[in-house]
Amino acid sequence: MSTPNLLMIPGPIGLSSDVLRALSQPQRGHLDPVFMQSFASALKRLREVCGAPTAQPFVISGSGTLAMEMSVANLVQPGDRALVVNTGYFSDRIATMLELHGAQVTHVKAEPGDVASLEEVERALASASFKVMTVTHVDTSTAVLAPVKALAALARKHGALCVVDGVCSVGGEALEFDAWGVDVAFTASQKALGAPPGLAVVLAGPRALAAWKARTRPVAAMYLDFAQWLPIHQAYESGVPSYFATPAVNLLMALDVSLGELVTETMPARVARHQALAKAARAAWSALGLSLLTKTPEVAAHTLSAVKYPAGVDASLVKHVGAQGVNVAGGLHPALKATYFRVGHMGAATGGTLLETVGAVERGLVACGHRFDLGAGVAAVQRALAAVG
């Protein structure tokens, strides 16, 4: 079996050795006491990681898209108004879901690579009575970081539930669920949480659960309904066997280990580490004569970079970098996907993996005929990392 390339795409990401060991344990049943303890531990750790002591976590088999739809399906009924703070491809996706569940959707958009101003969002919130406002914390298609804290405050001021897409942020960017007034945050296991793909994660706060309980129509999807999953999660957390659908046992045990790594590192230290890696990556791109899709440093995510191809270089760069032993990703935003590539630097990523990635990008650029000072990107990473110790 061939050795896989270093995985530096924006998810799934490389895993720590302890997470891999947890994943490879002999299969246990879903009512095995060891698994039940691990599941309960994962739920508690999710609250800690997200600063969400009052929230109810749900972890079910599925992708981030399933977590997105679970959030929408339980909050929205036909005729409800929803405001989407739109920063890219995944903002478009949640808007489509909202419409499928009967919501009347209003967008507040910015140019790709930017986020709408707080003033624009507040004007939109004041224009109608919105049930929910959705925010993509980090849009994986554009690497735009939205100001969730300020946006959540606006939603609360205008009586809207704040729903945060944290698929590419939770575990790598700061998120204080309770302190910021977030009502729902959802994510998936395979990005900054540092676990394998296959788990959809939703945290629902008290206002969101109250809105769900006040529905006048049943949730139109049995598998997504909080009513099916709430007693199951409460039972597992209490150590009591329960069943609705078979959980992904080994994935959940691996998630518990990865969350334990987050808790041990502490979220402030983890956020600082991601910020340092992002700063070093940006120094490298600049040294190579490359620019970011994101308009300003303030809206640039710390979990990934969206990097424009220089003049004379096209999407073949991704293949050339892969030939150097590192996997990066092409563009995703429909209007721009042929103009940029994406590099993930989250979770278990280190200065060493970033150096290896930048070196591979340099060699890929050489293969594409781009002229630059060979080694400049690697040297820039070294300087940036040395500056933070």
Q: Say how far apart CA 199 and CA 258 lie, in whole Å.
A: 13
C-alpha torsion sign, points 99, 337, 282, 48: positive
- State whether 258 and 300 are in the same domain: no
Same domain, 148 and 22: yes
Query: Which of 319-351 are b and which e, b meaning 16 or more Cβ less than 10 Å from the residue's Cβ?
Result: ebbeebebbbbbbbbeebeebbbbbbbbbbbeb
**pLDDT value at residue 4:** 82
Q: Are residues 241 and 340 in the same domain?
A: no
Dig out the tokens for 378 from the structure.
């690697």
- Find the helix or strand (DSSP H, E) in which 170 lies: none
The gap from C-alpha 158 to its chain's centroid, in whole angstroms, comes to: 26
Domain-ending residue, one of 225, 241, 265: 265
In terms of phi and psi (left: phi > 0; alpha: psi -120 to 50; beta: otherwise), the region of 347 is left
For residues 245 and 236, is the Cβ–Cβ distance under 8 A?
Answer: no
Separation in Å, CA 257 to CA 6, 107, 189: 22, 38, 12
117: domain CATH number is: 3.40.640.10
Q: What is the CA angle 107-181-88, rounded to 5?
A: 30
Indicate the residue among 265, 281, 296 that finishes a domain: 265
Cα(152)–Cα(386) distance, integer angstroms: 36
Statement to judge: residues 187 and 304 lie in one domain: no
Is the CB of residue 135 less than 8 Å from the CB of residue 148? Answer: yes
In a domain, 1, yes or no: no
Asked, for residue 378, whether it belongs to a domain, the answer is yes
Judgement on whether residues 90 and 36 belong to the same structural domain of the protein: yes
* Structure tokens that stand for 87 in this block: 């920063």
236 and 362 housed in the same domain = no
Total domains present in the chain? 2
Q: Could you tell me if 168 and 84 lie in one domain?
A: yes
CA atoms of 357 and 17, how far apart (whole Å):
20
Same domain for 219 and 151: yes
Write down the pLDDT at residue 344. 98
C-alpha Rg value of the chain to the nearest Å: 21
Cα gap 83→86, rounded to integer Å: 9
> Alpha helices of the chain — where are they, by DSSP H?
17-23, 33-50, 64-75, 89-100, 118-126, 148-157, 177-180, 206-213, 226-238, 249-265, 267-287, 316-323, 351-367, 376-388
pLDDT of residue 328: 98
Same structural domain, 323 and 361: yes
Q: Is residue 363 part of a domain?
A: yes
Residue 111, classified by CB atoms within 10 Å of its CB into exposed (0-12), middle (13-18) or buried (19+), is exposed
Do 62 and 194 have their domain in common? yes
Residue 298 lies in a domain: yes
Torsion angle, CA of 242/260/186/15, rounded to 10 degrees?
-110
- Is 160 strand, coil or helix? coil
Q: Supply the pLDDT for residue 197.
A: 98
What is this structure's pTM?
A: 0.97
Residues 291 and 257 in one domain: no
pLDDT, block means (10 residues), the chain with 389 residues: 86 96 94 96 98 98 98 98 97 98 97 97 98 98 98 98 98 98 98 98 98 96 97 95 94 98 97 98 97 97 98 97 98 95 96 98 97 97 92
* pLDDT given at position 2: 67
Helix axes of 206-213 and 64-75: crossing angle, nearest 10 degrees: 60
Residues 245 and 323 in one domain: no
* Within-domain flag for 201: yes
Residue where one domain finishes, among candidates 265, 297, 317: 265
Domain of 355: which CATH number? 3.90.1150.10
Q: Is 41 inside a domain boundary?
A: yes
Residue 361, domain extent:
6-10+266-388
Peptide bond into 147 cis (omega under 30): no
